[in-house]
Amino acid sequence: MAGLFDKQAEIYVEARPTYPKEWYSKLAALTPQHSLAWDVGTGNGQAALGLSEHYEQVVASDISEAQLKHAIQHPRVRYIHTPTSISDDEMVNLIGGGHENSVDLITVAEAVHWFDLPKFYSLAKRLLRKPGGIIAVWAYNRMLVNPDFDPVFDRFRENSIPFTHPNSKYVRAAYKTLPFPFESVGLGREGEPITVEIPKECSFQVVERMLRSYSAVTRAKDQGVDLLPEEVIKEFQRAWGGHDLVRSFKYEAFMLVGKL
Ligand SMILES: C[S@@+](CC[C@H](N)C(=O)[O-])C[C@H]1O[C@@H](n2cnc3c(N)ncnc32)[C@H](O)[C@@H]1O
């Protein structure tokens, strides 16, 4: 699984969206203490950086060393490589310094659907502070640009389906089917995520890199299929309005927040 993300690591850092600052303030306001946050599946640390403004320490973990190599450094963020072979007890050592009940906030941005969910949730329950610990998971799927671009993007997503990992079904269903065994705190609950938006401003050049960073594109390429041939890129570019044109647009996102 890590290999799937290794290949896109370099383009991730520039092309993938960062999340609105208000999300972190809102989540931080839910935890009574602000000692330790854990960003899981951190990639290049997009969410870890946001958390560092609110927590004394942020541990940011990922199974992909290549992703971590491109992570954005910050004095309060400690990146750790956590291959799936690591036992839960070792994870408690690495994340909580050997202490269960030590993590104030766990975030998983655009990643929880890749995890072994029962295993992850059981570890999260050990590590979350009791009472007071909060877990938040979110993801995004559609780009909302304009009436010309959006159908091209939706067609690209349709064509990608045969090459998506089975777990991508949770993203396609906007996390409505994602198991989330936590008590609601008013920001979604299992089966009923809240809908949120991620604003982004960039040129088509960056959008093209973002499209190329999709795991389905890598999986298709491994099977000899190009989901982004020249004519599709041209169609995207035309609908965007030109290669260098900078546009503001939104990603449609969904979030579940809970406590024990
Ligand atoms: C789509 S990226 C998201 C990265 C970042 N959180 C973001 O918001 O852009 C998914 C990340 O999850 C990581 N990942 C996948 N399975 C994982 C697992 N079991 N444990 C930890 N990280 C995992 C991948 O290596 C990858 O960096």
Question: At a CB cut-off of 8 Å and minimum separation 6, what does 94 contact?
Answer: 59, 61, 80, 82, 86
* pLDDT per residue as tens digits for the range 24-51: 999 999 999 999 999 999 999 999 999 9
Radius of gyration of the chain (CA): 18
Instruction: Tell which one of 112, 114, 120, 122 to mutate to probe ligand 1, the residue whose CB is within 8 A of the most ligand atoms.
Output: 114
Q: Is the CB of 41 under 6 A from ligand 1?
A: yes
* 62 alpha carbon – ligand 1 mean position (Å): 6
What is the Cβ-side half-sphere exposure of residue 14, based on CA atoms within 13 angstroms?
A: 13
What is the Cβ-side half-sphere exposure of residue 225, based on CA atoms within 13 angstroms?
A: 12
Domain boundaries, the chain: 2-141+166-199+251-259
Ligand 1 atom, smallest distance to 2 CA: 25
Quick one: pLDDT at residue 51?
98
* 35 alpha carbon – ligand 1 mean position (Å): 23
Q: Is the CB of 134 under 6 A from ligand 1?
A: no
CATH fold, domain 2-141+166-199+251-259, is Rossmann fold (3.40.50)
Task: Report mean pLDDT in 10-residue bins for the chain, 260 residues.
Answer: 60 78 98 98 96 98 94 97 96 97 98 96 98 98 95 96 93 97 98 97 92 91 96 97 96 97
Q: Is the CB of 213 under 6 A from ligand 1?
A: no
Q: Is the CB of 67 under 6 A from ligand 1?
A: yes
pTM of structure:
0.93
In one-letter notation, the amino acid at residue 33 is Q
